[in-house]
Amino acid sequence: MCGIVGYVGPKQAAPVLLEGLSKLEYRGYDSAGVAVMTDEGIVVKKKKGRLSCLSEMIDGGAAIHGTMGIGHTRWATHGEPSDTNSHPHLSNSGRFAVVHNGIIENYLKLREYLTKKGFEFISETDTEVIAHLFEYYYKGDIIETMIKVLSKVDGSYALGVLCADNPDSFIAVRKESPLIVGLGEGENFIASDIPAILSHTRDVYFLDNNEIVVINKDEVKIYNTDREEITKEAYKVDWDISAAEKGGYEHFMFKEIMEQPRAIADTVSPRIKDGKVVLDDISLTADYIRNINKIYVVACGSAYHVGVVGKYVIEDMVRIPVEVMVASEFRYCNPIADEKTLVVLISQSGETADTIAAMREAKRRGARTFAIVNAVGSCIAREADDVLYTWAGPEIAVATTKAYSTQLTAIYLMSIYFGQELGTLPKEKIAKYIKAIETLPQRIEKLLENKGDIQYIASKYFSAKSVFFIGRTLDYAVALEGSLKLKEISYIHSEAYAAGELKHGTIALMEEGTVVVALCTVKELFDKMLSNIKEVKARGAVVIAIAEEGHKEIEEEADHVIYVPKCDALTMPSEVVVPLQLFSYYVSSLKGLDIDKPRNLAKSVTVE
Ligand code: F6R
């Protein structure tokens, strides 16, 4: 995710900003920039690439003179990584400089509006509208302008804004994107994350949504959007720097598990407008979709597992046959793909060698390619015919969690969109599915609140030798992911099976104490799963069941039951995967393993 730092005090601002941004590098970024208030007005310097490139350009900060400024590390969302798209963004007159984390959902409309008013846009970013809105509404009062701007933008944001008319103070605000204020002696800071300011102060304010803060070196004033002043209690940070990088959590994986509600909301909400799914950047027409005779979903590892869920979802909503394939197989299997075939590629990094090769093979055969990618500007994003971005932000733990969840979300969005364009989905169903994905973040929050129950179960079985995950249809698809998660970070042997397939051989492995995680959330197959549980219990297995709330009868068969909130069947995988991620996490933690960097694995597999 992007990083923000702001400073006002007696020191030269640019070196302080560079140092603060360096503490946020762990979050991942593709460009960096600073804006400093100088005697000649606001000076902006920004550069694509590592922070060291920016630092070199401004001589470690010494090249810009001024004691107040804002800085940013950007993880591209709207527009590829480039010097121009990096932050800060200036308004046309240069009076305002803005850094922004989050997504402005209505930026296209605002861009159009401001263009008509004569504003010239230089970048492809959503952020630039903020700089121009400030310019447009400014009548000499910065707080008033901020309130006006906030009333015009939808979405999530943490903003830091310099105004050339105010050489001693700057203004900031947040909504759904974190921002803190650091309180120093004769100096004050803002930051999107604690590590950025921890070497200067441990006293911070955590801003709430839509709290506006005006900061000078001696004073911090906070207002609500009615311009009433708010008093806040300062919080003393007692974490060390490495805990702070992980948001106070012990591991990035856990932090990323906890970030899932936000990541899903960021992926969904900009794409829902007036009760419809709107995919602005997609050029596929209804005519094209109508002529598709087959969809391939091609990916690796967890992204492939998203495809396995995707097959059920796409076929149900769109009624086009789907084949799911691991990318390393696709290119060698002489796939039947032509100009009527759509090949959907799923990748967090957008740089996975096998998926890239599969994409090129699909294109060679004349197929159209549609990528679901997290890293903006990555190879797959650049080369695919269409890209639907998952706005999960950077994922640092090797084992994917929030990227997997947002990829699932992208599959729902894509399927609803296709069904909507083709007319295969009636209006009521579209409304039902949209509601299901819009409310998903709340249900996942609820699951995360019950993490203690899963930790308890993990504490009973973390020394298991072998764990089986079983389920049917969509549950089977999630079982694949649950099993991969466990083996990659806990090194426990694990397999995922379609529950009905067990009796064709694998049940021979069941013995006293074998752990079986039985996913039982598919309503019409619930009784069949009860029978499968009985089968494995009869051979001595211990069963941890996952079931939808209300299915109490399962308690008679399983040793432990984890309940997930009721929801629409097609979106249930997004819920079921959460306890499985937590289970793997806690097992690995109890075994004392290197959770974020499991042995033999790399975050991005760029070789065949
Ligand atoms: C497992 C995991 C991997 C990736 C796979 C594809 O937790 O992260 O299985 O899903 O290597 O990577 P991307 O999505 O970057 O193509």
Q: Give CA angle at 348 (32, 209), nearest 5°.
A: 60
Superfamily of domain 442-608: Glucose-6-phosphate isomerase like protein; domain 1 (3.40.50.10490)
Asked if the model's pLDDT at residue 243 lies above 80, the reply is no
Q: What's residue 606's pLDDT?
A: 72
Query: What one-letter code names the amino acid at 461?
Result: Y
Asked if the model's pLDDT at residue 545 lies above 90, the reply is yes
Q: Establish whether residue 347 lines the binding site of ligand 1, counting it when its CB lies within 6 angstroms of any ligand atom.
A: yes
Contacting residues for 131 by C-beta, under 8 A, at least 6 apart: 89, 90, 91, 96, 97, 98
Q: Establish whether residue 352 lines the binding site of ligand 1, counting it when its CB lies within 6 angstroms of any ligand atom.
A: yes
Helix (H, G, I), strand (E, B) or coil at 522: coil
518: its two tokens: 């039985």
Kind and range of the H or E element at 33?
strand 31-38
Q: Establish whether residue 300 lines the binding site of ligand 1, counting it when its CB lies within 6 angstroms of any ligand atom.
A: yes
- The string of pLDDT tens digits covering residues 38-63 is 999 999 999 999 999 999 999 999 99
Ligand 1 atom closest to Cα of 349?
15
Segments making up each domain of the chain, as ranges: 3-245, 249-438, 442-608
484 alpha carbon, distance to own chain's centre: 20
In angstroms, what is the span from residue 602 Cα to ligand 1's centroid? 9
Ligand 1 atom closest to Cα of 407?
14
Q: Establish whether residue 301 lines the binding site of ligand 1, counting it when its CB lies within 6 angstroms of any ligand atom.
A: yes
Atom 10 of ligand 1, residue of closest alpha carbon: 302
Start-end of H helices in 218-319: 241-245, 252-258, 260-268, 286-291, 301-318
Q: What's residue 608's pLDDT?
A: 66
In angstroms, what is the span from residue 220 Cα to ligand 1's centroid? 44
In angstroms, what is the span from residue 332 Cα to ligand 1's centroid? 20
Banded pLDDT at 1 (limits 50, 70, 90): low
Q: Establish whether residue 353 lines the binding site of ligand 1, counting it when its CB lies within 6 angstroms of any ligand atom.
A: no
The mean predicted confidence, pLDDT, of the chain is 94
330: its two tokens: 């696709």
Asked if the model's pLDDT at residue 15 lies above 90, the reply is yes
Q: What's residue 409's pLDDT?
A: 98
Banded pLDDT at 27 (limits 50, 70, 90): confident
- DSSP characters over 331-394: TTS-----TTEEEEEEESSS--HHHHHHHHHHHHTT-EEEEEESSTT-HHHHHSSEEEE-----
Q: What's residue 531's pLDDT?
A: 96
- 3-245 against 442-608: fold identical: no
Q: Establish whether residue 348 lines the binding site of ligand 1, counting it when its CB lies within 6 angstroms of any ligand atom.
A: yes
In angstroms, what is the span from residue 349 Cα to ligand 1's centroid? 8
Banded pLDDT at 601 (limits 50, 70, 90): confident
419: its two tokens: 């069904």
298: its two tokens: 């091609």
Q: Does domain 3-245 have CATH number 3.60.20.10?
A: yes
Mean pLDDT of 72-100: 94
Q: Which residue among the candidates 2, 163, 300, 567 is catalytic per the annotation?
A: 2
State the pTM of this model: 0.81
Question: What count of other Cβ atoms lies within 10 Å of the Cβ of residue 554?
Answer: 20
562: its two tokens: 């984890």
In angstroms, what is the span from residue 567 Cα to ligand 1's centroid? 27
- The string of pLDDT tens digits covering residues 549-578 is 999 999 999 999 999 999 999 999 999 999
Question: What angle do helix axes 301-318 and 402-422 make, rounded to 10 degrees?
Answer: 20
Please give the share of the chain, as a percent, with pLDDT higher than 90. 87
Ligand 1 atom closest to Cα of 404?
10
**Least confident among 85-89, 155-159, 529-533, 584-588:** 155-159
CA distance 195 to 25: 10
Ligand 1 atom closest to Cα of 302?
10
Asked if the model's pLDDT at residue 238 lies above 80, the reply is no
In angstroms, what is the span from residue 348 Cα to ligand 1's centroid? 7
Banded pLDDT at 522 (limits 50, 70, 90): very high
- The string of pLDDT tens digits covering residues 95-141 is 999 999 998 999 999 999 999 999 999 999 999 999 999 999 999 99
Asked if the model's pLDDT at residue 178 lies above 90, the reply is no
CA distance 118 to 101: 26
Superfamily of domain 249-438: Glucose-6-phosphate isomerase like protein; domain 1 (3.40.50.10490)
Asked if the model's pLDDT at residue 599 lies above 80, the reply is yes
CA distance 404 to 110: 32
Question: What count of other Cβ atoms lies within 10 Å of the Cβ of residue 535?
Answer: 17
In the residue annotation, 340 being an active-site residue is answered as no
Q: Establish whether residue 303 lines the binding site of ligand 1, counting it when its CB lies within 6 angstroms of any ligand atom.
A: yes
**Least confident among 174-183, 311-320, 409-418, 572-581:** 174-183
Q: In the 8-state DSSP scheme, what is residue 207?
A: P
Residue tagged 């990584």 (tokens): 81
- The string of pLDDT tens digits covering residues 479-494 is 999 999 999 999 999 9
In angstroms, what is the span from residue 303 Cα to ligand 1's centroid? 6
Q: In the 8-state DSSP scheme, what is residue 504?
A: G
- The string of pLDDT tens digits covering residues 409-444 is 999 999 999 999 999 899 999 999 999 999 999 999
Asked if the model's pLDDT at residue 28 lies above 80, the reply is no
Q: What's residue 516's pLDDT?
A: 98
**Least confident among 82-96, 228-242, 272-286, 446-460:** 228-242
390 alpha carbon, distance to own chain's centre: 6
In the residue annotation, 487 being an active-site residue is answered as no
Mean pLDDT of 15-26: 92
Atom 11 of ligand 1, residue of closest alpha carbon: 301
441 preceded by a cis bond (ω within 30 of 0): no
Asked if the model's pLDDT at residue 385 lies above 80, the reply is yes
Ligand 1 atom closest to Cα of 352?
16
CA distance 255 to 178: 14
